[in-house]
Structure 1
Amino acid sequence: MSCTSPVRVSVIIVNYNGGALLTECVQSVLLSTIPIWIYVVDNASVDQSISILTQQLPPDAPITVIQNSENRGFAAAVNQVLSQVETDYSVVLNPDCLLQADTLQQFCAVLDQEQYRTYGMAGGLVRNPDGTEQAGCRRAIPSPWRALVRVLHLNRWFPQQSRFDNFVLTEHPLPSQPVAIEGISGACMVVRQEAVLQVGLMDEQYFLHCEDLDWFMRFGEAGWPILFIPHINIVHIKGACSQREPLRVLWYKHRGMIRFYKKFFRQRYPLVLYWGVATAVWLRFGLLAVPLSVRRWFNALVL
């Protein structure tokens, strides 16, 4: 499955019921101004997204489509490809993202610079379709303390004290130059293959959500910092691929948060704070799940 020269970038797109957006995403990547190879890993979609894609692909398109017989989860699907490619960089890209023709060329140009050779991962300015910056585009690691700050809105009560900063950084001014950052958007992650060989693949115990946070932590701990590049733009139509099963997605997200906290912070924080955050996570799930379930029941009743 390895790419051959002069391809330097492998683009990994995990699809699950991405609909027509998958084709739009792939078509935007095919316009890239540098040689690339695309891998679409389909996690047993039940819609027509793969057939729509294959019907519209030119016969010589640099793309490999892998169709799994079951939904293996996001991290496992990424690892199917990431474990075998040999390109300098790999891009983990959501199927509801749209790139500009020079996006990948710009990423390579920055990461190739000597001053950024020690960075293992990079992300750009991820925007909503209306052009606004997307929440989660720039973020700090959501440690238990930061999660507590966010839940209790302590950043609003103590806006001048850095210890009460929110882990979502979109309210901060955009930097004018590439800067080191703890976390980027998981919708578009450019990883250096040299770093992946040292850090390791994604943790497949996360089925959906939080596998990116896990990777951010491990990259940082291994001495491969993360770079945010503000002049590179990506459009992300957030949530477009999760509308079919919002309750299931919500469950996996909160389960992933619990695994993340347990894996990295259980030994670093007092037990009472850890269990307090874990309780808050499940309470949050309950508060969000109830209206979703009621709405789903009501829609089924009406139909």
Structure 2
Amino acid sequence: MQRICVIGGSRYFGKLLVQRLRAAGHQVTVINRGSGRPPAGVEHLVVDRDDEAALLAALGPRTFDVVVDQVCYTPVQAAIAARVFAGRTRRYVMTSTIEVYDPATAALVPVPADTPVPEETVDPTTWTVDLGLPWHDAAYLESHYAEGKRQAEAVLTRAGGTGAGSFTFASVRSAHVLGGGAREFTGRLAHYTRRVNAGEPVAVHARPLPTVFIHFAELAELLHWAATEADFGGPLNACSDGPLDVHALTAAVAAQTGREPRYQPTTAAAPASPFSFERHYAMSNARAKGLGFAFSHTADWLPGAVSEALADALAEAAVPTA
């Protein structure tokens, strides 16, 4: 049994992670602002992680074997966490994102075309951090999501260190997460099921290129493994095998709706649908495999994810409007 703190953990794969940690017999504490109660047997601390004094008071003398941070979006949040959890945990795992590799939001180390990007493409040990940017402004944060994650990784990487109160820091850079039907709160897969089922066109680039995906349950399993079994530090890419472009994703939806997909070119009035990219946007999962994690293939779970999203779309369409 390990003592594990999950920051966030109130929805989607974070909620599933908490359930799995508890089912495995670990002593789990969830920290959030009260947006969702954890399952029975899980300690719940209701506090705003951005309020350092309140967070310290809520934690009291508690210490943990591992902290899993599901909701760290800025270097300011990371700096607070680094101070608060110094000396309280031996390991800190942050959920990060494929978007740290988006070349549209940062100057990155060049990677050959059509090559899945490895973790060293974005090195948090060298990434510049600016705590003075308006990270508390919601609009700024939304438009700088990828940079917020990059800088958060950088802060926690440097805070880990080797001195007194240090911890091993690991970041899990998740691919685009699908599955779970209505639990997939971004609605990106639902966008395709609704449009294809209704015979509406899907806006795509002229030559869309592949990206990578992961099922929400597989991501929860990987985070469980990263917290309780693995002992790596640094960034780790998390994606199922089998990159897909937007046409392949739409075809998977069409196969279950029985309708031929329609496409239209992107315009100012019809911006690209989710997952339509003009750049190769795939990650390499070789490091995670080398450390012992076995990934599924996207084809193993995508039909089921589409089926869930389609069932939700059909149920929604059947509800009469007022």
Q: TM-score, normalised by structure 2?
A: 0.31
Question: Which of 1 and 2 has higher RCO (CA within 8 Å, sep 6+)?
Answer: 1
